[in-house]
Structure formats: structure tokens, C-alpha cells
Amino acid sequence: MTNRERIDRLEIEKQLPKEDWVQLLSTFTTEDREYAAEKARKISTGIFGKTIYFRGIIEFTNICKNDCYYCGIRRSNDAVSRYRLTLEDILECCQEGYENGYRTFVLQGGEDGWFTDERMEEIVRAIKERYPDCVVTLSIGERSRESYQRLYDAGARRYLLRHETASPVHYAKLHPAVQTLANRMRCLNDLREIGYQVGCGCMVGSPYQTAEDLAEDMLFMGKFRPHMIGIGPFIPHSQTPFRDFEAGSVETTLMMLSLCRIMIPEVLLPATTALGTVRGDGRQEGVLAGCNVIMPNLSPLSVRKKYMLYDNKVGTADSAADGMARLAAQMEAIGYQVVSGRGDSPRMQG
């Protein structure tokens, strides 16, 4: 079976056996990738048109209890200048975003114990009261099911939690022993059962990753069927144990994105900041590979360079208006239009 035949089979069956995933992801050519991208692009425009949804990210704390070996804000990095935004700071970010057309706010931060359920409930409720037509998305890591339920009851409706890798062995190479893939999967299942629109995803080219690991990611995502998938290339940070590893492949990242679109046609698929960091036209290439979401930064300019998960992160100097204008121009250059709106998953409105 050729790789094109594997891609055709995926389009029909929405999954492949592991050995076919391994073969496809380890031997694809530029022509194979372009073939997958063309299919993915047709699927995406058939469902969403040539429109790109955007979400405003507010990085409200860079304090984290975890010590993930790849992350620039890991607990052991003493060189980071730590911060927390106040409720007033967060609402100011929302106001600037709202005035520029944002209708989804993504509260993203390290696993900071200061932000208890009570404090997070207050933040979510305040945003929903002030902007009832907007969606609050959370990306704040592993919490208890009770915590997720309380935040859902407060008004949060989406949750982003990358699984990072679906291989327990590989997961153990990226995290200290106290962090487990089993708990990460427990969180994702809790979120889905509660009723969130759930996003998962992985890093491409992370240290020690194999084609078998990527195959496990595709098998997991095909079974879990998230509402959103976030995939970006690994980018090393100079103050982590993985500082000397090479960045992940843009080509493999784009191939994975196209395959995700083919496998789960209605999925919300961001062209990630990491993709735009590794390559200047990375987000445009992501859209041409089947992506339909962009996530600009709404964080205060004063703290953006303190939230460095990896080195040389793009967009740290753009205001909300400038960031939107830049991204809109990039999308228009390839024939797409950035649209204001909630941008819900077709499988779950509300």
C-alpha cells in the first residue's frame, strides 16, 4: 500500500491500523504531504468555508508547580520573572480584545495553586457577566473533577489540555515521575463527561519521540475525538534540560495537522503560535494544511516575555489590534478571512 492509498483509506475509514500510521508518518514525501494538505483543505473549506476563527489568549500566570522538562516556566527555572495578573488586569485584556472583535477568551496559565477554585470561579463569572456573548476557555492544566465541574458551573465551556504524547513510556521521558499520562487522560475524560468542548494535542519532534509515538497519538485522538486539536513543533528553551535538542519538523507538523483534519473533519484545528515561531509563514501554511483557528495573544505587553514556554516566541510585541491586523493580512494573502464570532464546534453549540 502506498502512502497516498493510506491517506485515501483514512478519508474513508477515519482511522488506520498502527502499522500504517507508523509507515505513513516515517516515510511520507513532500508530494504525500501536499496530497494530504489538499484533501484536508477541501474538507475544511467544505465545512467552515474560507473563514478563520480567532481566540484571544490571556496568559494570566507563569507560576507553575510542575517541572516538565521541556517548558520554560517549569518550577525549577529560577531565571523566570514570575507574575500573576489580577482580576482587573484580566478584564482589561478582555475589554481590549472585545473591542477588536474577539468573542472567545482563553485563560491560560501554569498550574498555580494560588488560583483556587474560588478565585477561578470569580474570574470566569466576571468575564461572563461583562461579556455574555463570549466563550470562556480554560487552559490551566490538571485539576480534580470537582474543580472542573465548578468552573463549568461558573460559565466556562471549553478546556484545552494537551495530552502531549499518548505513549506512557515517552510521557515519562518528558515529565518527572509525579506526573503521569494516566492522570492526564483521567482529566480529559472528566472534562468530556462534564460537557466541555475539549481540546487535546501533542508536540511534534519532542525529545525521544518516535514514529510509533506519533502513531499512538493519532490512534488516541481518533478514538477520543476531541472538539479541538492543538499540534505544534517542539521548540527548545535555553533554560530547560532539553535546551540542546533540535526543534521539531515543520513538515511533519503540517502532515499531522492535515491527517487530523481528514480523520476528524469537523475538528477545530489551530495553526499554532509555535508553528509561526519556527517559520514566518507557518500559520499560513497551517491553514493551507487544513487549520481553521488562530490564537493571538491578548496578554499585557509588560508580561508577554515572561511567559516563554519556548525560546523566541512570536507575537510578544503586538498589541491586540496590531496582532489582529497582522494575522488578518496574512490570512487574506492566502485567500482566507478572519471572522469575529464564538466559533463553536459543529458538534456542540452553546
Amino acid at 95: Q
31 belongs to an annotated ligand binding site: no
261 belongs to an annotated ligand binding site: no
Q: What are the residues facing 230 on neighbouring strands? A: 201
Torsion angles phi and psi, residue 184, rounded to 5:
-60, -45
Nearest CA-CA partner of 211 in 256, 274, 180:
256
pLDDT in tens, the chain (350 residues): 999 999 999 999 999 999 999 999 999 999 999 999 999 999 999 999 999 998 999 999 999 999 999 999 999 999 999 999 999 999 999 999 999 999 999 999 999 999 999 999 999 999 999 999 999 999 999 999 999 999 999 999 999 999 999 999 999 999 999 999 999 999 999 999 999 999 999 999 999 999 999 999 999 999 999 999 999 999 999 999 999 999 999 999 999 999 999 999 999 999 998 888 888 899 999 999 999 999 989 998 888 888 888 777 777 777 778 888 888 899 999 999 998 888 888 875 43
64 belongs to an annotated ligand binding site: yes
Q: Decide the pairing of beta strands 293-294 and 228-233.
A: unpaired
Which whole-number Å values give the CA distances from 251 to 27, 34, 185, 202, 314, in the listed order?
12, 10, 28, 15, 19
pTM over 0.85: yes
258 belongs to an annotated ligand binding site: no
* DSSP, residue by residue, 49-79: -SEEEE-EEEEEE---S---TT-TT-TT-TT
Nearest CA-CA partner of 260 in 311, 226, 295:
226
260 belongs to an annotated ligand binding site: no
Which whole-number Å values give the CA distances from 327 to 38, 57, 296, 301, 314, in the listed order?
22, 14, 8, 17, 12
Question: What is the model's pLDDT at position 349?
Answer: 44
8 A C-beta contact, residue 185 and residue 142: no
345 belongs to an annotated ligand binding site: no
